[in-house]
């Protein structure tokens, strides 16, 4: 009995140490400028030649870059726009959704030295920056729960409803009330 | 087992139940602060649990009758799903299901943020109604004893 207690204590302490170690390793949470929250590097790069730069400044993604982006699995849709940004270019694309904003930030082409790197904006960027004007709810959690993930919440409510109906069918005794 | 009333529990419950229900209504409409439909519904159901603990299951069931309970449990789901269907109907098939921006409320009321109002006052309240009714129903079904099992009627 005593050995079990001692070993359980050791196990709990080890588990606690493991949890603390893992929690220390988590990157700064909620920092809007940390890479994972801001963008994803697509590992696409080309040389920043003169023709590429003039093409980008004219508002067209050059053929070399478009081919590589297509190979990566994110083909450029028709009707995209290129906008100059500090240190690079934003690629804006139209979305298929009606009643939302027409152009969304999709790629960021960053100039580092004499090479161009392509980044993709991640979903939290749109969530943080646009959720209030898109949904009209000042609470980000409610906007995510009922608007962006509306189908999911409808399904959760249906699960609870089904559970209640099952309990009614199995356990309800027919009383006077 | 017959229910024996206790003066302390009765007084505390009579004092607390209105405040718990008020807090549940506040949590339910989660526009500004923390909260949402699920949490608000569970807090509302907890007030019925407290009421039954203090006053007995027969009195509790008379406050929330079985017919009302069953109707409310499906009404919340109908509210939520019906808003989704209304979005399709009122926009004549242009918008998707559950695209609240398609409801012509902004034209009718003149307020720009109607999309948020629909979310907080229809969708969240619908979720809360379903959760409240289902949790209360599960509690009453588990606690109920029929007459031949020696329960009170």
Would you call A135 an interface residue with chain B, using a CB distance cutoff of 8 Å? yes
Task: Using a pLDDT cut of 90, give the percent of chain A over it.
Answer: 17
What is residue B57's three-state secondary structure? helix
Shared domain for A105 and A147, answered yes or no, is no
| Nearest one of A116, A94, A117 to A105, comparing CA atoms | A94
Over range A83-102, report the average pLDDT.
Answer: 73
Distance CA A168, CA B84 (A): 27
Residue scoring higher pLDDT (A175 or A19): A19
Q: Is residue B152 part of a domain?
A: no
- Host domain of residue A53: 35-123
Q: Interface pTM (ipTM) of the complex?
A: 0.87
The tens digit of pLDDT for each residue in B48-101 reads 999 998 998 888 889 999 899 999 999 999 999 999 888 888 888 777 788 887
Put simply, the chain B residues between 22 and 51 with a CB less than 8 A from any chain A CB are 30-34, 36, 38
A177 pLDDT tier (thresholds 50, 70, 90): very low
Contact residues, chain A, for B33 at CB < 8 Å = 139
> Do B114 and A138 count as a contact with CB atoms less than 8 A apart?
no
Q: How many structural domains is chain A composed of?
A: 2
Is residue B2 in a domain? no
Q: Give B123's DSSP letter.
A: I
CB–CB of A136 and B30 under 8 A? no
Cβ-count burial A126-137 (b if 16+ within 10 Å, e if not)? beeeebeebbbb
Interface test with chain B among A130, A131, A134, A139, by most B beta carbons within 10 Å = A139
Average pLDDT over residues B22-28: 91
Query: B114: domain range?
Result: 7-147
A109 and A39 within one domain:
yes
Is there a contact between B141 and A158 if contact means CB atoms under 8 Å apart? Answer: no
Q: Using CA of residue B78, residue B83, residue B87, residue B89, what is the dihedral sign?
A: positive
Residue B153's pLDDT is what?
45
């Amino acid at each position: 009995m005593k050995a079990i207690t001692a070993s359980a204590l050791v196990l709990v302490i080890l588990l606690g140490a493991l949890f603390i170690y893992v929690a220390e390793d988590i990157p700064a949470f909620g920092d809007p400028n940390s890479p994972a929250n801001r963008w994803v590097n697509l590992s696409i790069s080309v040389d920043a030649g003169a023709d590429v730069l003039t093409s980008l400044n004219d508002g067209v993604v050059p053929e070399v870059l478009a081919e590589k982006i297509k190979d990566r699995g994110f083909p450029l849709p028709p009707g995209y726009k290129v906008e100059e940004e500090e240190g690079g270019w934003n690629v804006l694309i139209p979305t298929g959704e009606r009643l939302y904003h027409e152009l969304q930030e999709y790629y960021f082409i960053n100039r580092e030295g004499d090479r161009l790197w392509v980044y993709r904006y991640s979903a939290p960027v749109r969530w943080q920056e646009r959720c209030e004007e898109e949904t009209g709810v000042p609470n980000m959690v409610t906007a995510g729960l009922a608007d962006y993930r509306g189908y999911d919440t409808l399904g959760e409510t249906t699960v609870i409803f089904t559970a209640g109906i099952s309990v009614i069918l199995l356990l309800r005794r027919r009383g006077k009330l | 087992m017959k229910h024996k009333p206790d003066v302390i529990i009765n007084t505390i419950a009579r004092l607390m139940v209105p405040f718990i229900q008020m807090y549940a209504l506040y949590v339910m409409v989660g526009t500004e602060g923390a909260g949402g439909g699920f949490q608000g519904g569970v807090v509302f159901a907890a007030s019925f649990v407290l009421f039954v603990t203090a006053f007995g299951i027969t009195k509790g069931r008379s406050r929330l009758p079985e017919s009302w309970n069953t109707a409310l449990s499906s009404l919340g789901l109908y509210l939520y799903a019906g808003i989704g269907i209304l979005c399709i109907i009122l926009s004549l098939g242009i918008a998707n299901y559950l695209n609240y921006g398609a409801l012509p409320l902004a034209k009718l009321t003149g307020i720009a943020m109607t999309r948020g109002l629909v979310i907080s006052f229809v969708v969240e309240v619908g979720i809360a109604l379903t959760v409240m009714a289902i949790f209360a129903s599960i509690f009453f079904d588990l606690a109920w004893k029929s007459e031949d099992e020696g329960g009170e009627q």
